[in-house]
């Protein structure tokens, strides 16, 4: 099955859990390829946000404290970098900082931006996977390099007690 189709199935699976909520840019309003993978997610489970990446990550952590499972969507990995304060200094460390009192479960979805059919420029298609794996100790970092890994990895993220960062590759959206 095509990469994009597997993502659509994975988002539908996540949406079936009563605790999940999807937030980010282009989750309720069209604007990028990720939006099209949310077509089977009820609109009532989506919160459209402006470009406020650091705040979005903070909101995701707060929602997790209230029992939600946020699916926090950052359409390009380059822009997830703007949320690294909350990601590295809070989400990754809050369990330790709180003596295991808080254990936020957040699923972060991002993508390495597409380079075709048009090259978007260096600030839209960077891959920081390896750097994030070095920095993050308690957030699982998973790069989805082929379509057969998508459903199992999103399922693991949903079942996990730890936060997970799933990195998609936009150039594969139309591939098998």
pLDDT digits (tens, 9 = 90+) for 133-165: 999 999 999 999 999 999 999 999 999 999 999
Q: Are 112 and 135 contacting, i.e. CB atoms less than 8 angstroms apart?
A: no
Calculate the alpha carbon distances from 174 to 4, 21, 52 in Å.
6, 26, 29
E strands of the chain, at which residues?
A: 20-24, 46-48, 69-74, 107-112, 140-143, 164-169
Dump pLDDT digits (tens) for 25-63: 999 999 888 999 999 999 999 999 999 999 999 999 999
Mean pLDDT of 126-130: 96
CA dihedral 87, 36, 142, 162 (to 10 degrees): 50
Domains of the chain as residue ranges with CATH: 3-171 (3.40.50.970)
Which pLDDT does position 176 carry in this prediction?
Answer: 64
Structure tokens at 157: 């993220």
Percentage of the chain beyond pLDDT 90 is 86
Q: Are strands 164-169 and 140-143 parallel, antiparallel or unpaired?
A: parallel
């Amino acid at each position: 099955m095509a990469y994009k189709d597997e993502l659509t199935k994975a988002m539908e699976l996540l949406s079936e859990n009563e605790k999940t909520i999807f937030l980010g840019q282009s989750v309720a309003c069209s604007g990028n390829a990720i939006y099209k993978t949310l077509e089977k997610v009820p609109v009532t489970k989506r919160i459209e946000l402006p470009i406020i990446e650091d705040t979005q990550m903070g909101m995701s952590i707060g929602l997790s404290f209230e029992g939600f499972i946020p699916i926090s969507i950052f359409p390009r990995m380059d822009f997830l970098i703007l949320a690294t304060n909350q990601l590295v200094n809070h989400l990754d460390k809050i369990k330790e900082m709180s003596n295991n009192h808080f254990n936020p479960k957040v699923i972060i979805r991002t993508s390495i931006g597409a380079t075709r059919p048009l090259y978007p420029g260096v600030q839209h298609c960077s891959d920081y996977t390896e750097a994030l794996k070095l920095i993050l100790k308690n957030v699982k970092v998973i790069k989805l390099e082929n379509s057969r890994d998508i459903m199992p990895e999103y399922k693991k993220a949903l079942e996990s007690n730890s936060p997970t960062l799933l990195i998609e590759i936009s150039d594969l959206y139309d591939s098998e």
